[in-house]
Structure 1
């Protein structure tokens, strides 16, 4: 069986993944396929560090700015979208270059996933509203009553996980644990994953994080935060969308609302970015 190389360029935020992917794609007649859970959304292109247009003009880029901010893109959702794009790239005799920092997307691609149900948007909204109304402990207690097997796996503070578990049982009447016991859907046997981890030293990574945020501000990050905040306030975009967790968004929004100074907002955003990059760095060293 002839093996087909699938290149994966991964690492923490601000590590330089995109530059590595551009170089690899230039060498291998490649197509860059996004595996970043922020860059997949059509919003906040500066804060999410979307590739510049000149890079997109030079090398094909896929799954960037692909979804509306109100959509949810779990690892399973991303895998379902990405697999056909990888297959199309191969049929065109080009090399897939998977690039991004969302480790769970990469694990889902390499290891496969058990099939998971699609959750209707109205159920997602209902469950989030219930969480906000009850609070973490009461919500967790209700999940424990309805699905003790899965609840025992999570801590009360694992907000996203316990919400997901409640969504599944609300939508299907079955425990998330039951779905996870189904056989994994694995990638084609002929795919050969070649992984490049871009892992700068901690000092280099922190310097890159700080410098990049300064560049983002010069490029208009504050203005795009104000525009995105208005879309939330107007009800066009849900308050709890994934993009609202974009690094720096919360702090800049607080400045826009008059809740903090610009200097403090910038410093806090840089600190949060460095801490996030550190966690990513550790994850990639140990998990991929």
Structure 2
């Protein structure tokens, strides 16, 4: 465990921080902006795709104009060529929270990456760095042989538990690369290296936006049209010209493959718009499932009926 991260967690136990999670297109960024204006806040990114410089439109990152209204941190800080871990995000956000408080600002963390919030408030097992060659081997096996191939290799190398209990190919590949790199299972690292949370839940205002499905789907349809507009096409074209591995997180962002196929003449506008809409809906559904199962004690707020910020002050300071 990084000593600076451990120290920052200890110092953070009595902090008051606003955390806003929710599915894509649920209005998280707009709410965070309104709150930041009212509470002298700093907005800190908790969305793994909005970390990337190349994905402002595709990831629905706040606009340059919005970023100029109040301080925004951890947006567009990474090149698309770089992978990024939850542990690395925790190290950055711990510094930003401390910096915000030193300047008298309220830290407002906002995003759709549930694992970031879970690690922040429940603790996180810092994993060892995995050599790129081993990471590539695990991902290649996943591409060639899928779930069953990964399970067979995990069993052969001695991690029968992961092989028997995991079903998601990304999680299986992660278990395999950790085992290959360290000789120890992912479960071993999670148990032996679990660190306390950076923020205790009881000192945070924890909100999950939970809009009605029709309201959210209408906003997702609007989002898809914006992604497929000329500026979105230009963004994806520029990214694809970098000729990066399609296994990188930025290249797996919703919109990259779909708009890429449109630019290549493999799909027309209507088909591409449909694909974007469906993919985003499916992603939002996965997010909602995560929030419901993993963050069940967070307060649910329906953004479709409007939010009274005067009441929010009472929630935060009460």
The normalised TM-score by structure 2 is 0.82
Distance 2:74 2:190 in 1: 26
Provide the aligned length of Structure 1 versus Structure 2.
282
* In the alignment, structure 1 residue 186 sits paired with structure 2 residue 193: no
Whether the 8 Å contact between 2:245 and 2:251 is mirrored in structure 1 is: no
* In the alignment, structure 1 residue 278 sits paired with structure 2 residue 285: yes
CA deviation after TM superposition for structure 1 residue 133, in Å = 4.2
Which of 198, 205, 209 does residue 216 from structure 2 map onto? 205
Whether the 8 Å contact between 1:6 and 1:191 is mirrored in structure 2 is: no
Which of 85, 90, 93 does residue 96 from structure 2 map onto? 85
The normalised TM-score by structure 1 is 0.91
CA deviation after TM superposition for structure 1 residue 200, in Å = 1.6
* In the alignment, structure 1 residue 150 sits paired with structure 2 residue 157: no
CA deviation after TM superposition for structure 1 residue 259, in Å = 2.0
Distance 1:128 1:97 in 2: 35
Q: Structure 1: which 4+ aligned runs deviate by more than 4 Å? A: 188-191
Whether the 8 Å contact between 1:248 and 1:270 is mirrored in structure 2 is: no
Which of 242, 245, 248 does residue 231 from structure 1 map onto? 242
- Distance of aligned partners of 1:251 and 1:241 in 2 relative to their CA distance in 1, 3 Å threshold: same
Structure 2 regions of 5+ residues with no counterpart? Answer: 1-11, 296-318
Structure 1 regions of 5+ residues with no counterpart? Answer: none
* In the alignment, structure 1 residue 139 sits paired with structure 2 residue 146: no
Map of 1:118 onto structure 2:
129
Instruction: For residue 17 of structure 2, give the secondary structure of its aligned residue in structure 1.
Output: strand
Greater Cα offset, 248-257 or 58-67: 248-257
CA deviation after TM superposition for structure 1 residue 174, in Å = 1.1
CA deviation after TM superposition for structure 1 residue 2, in Å = 9.3
Distance 1:69 1:151 in 2: 31
Greater Cα offset, 184-193 or 16-25: 184-193
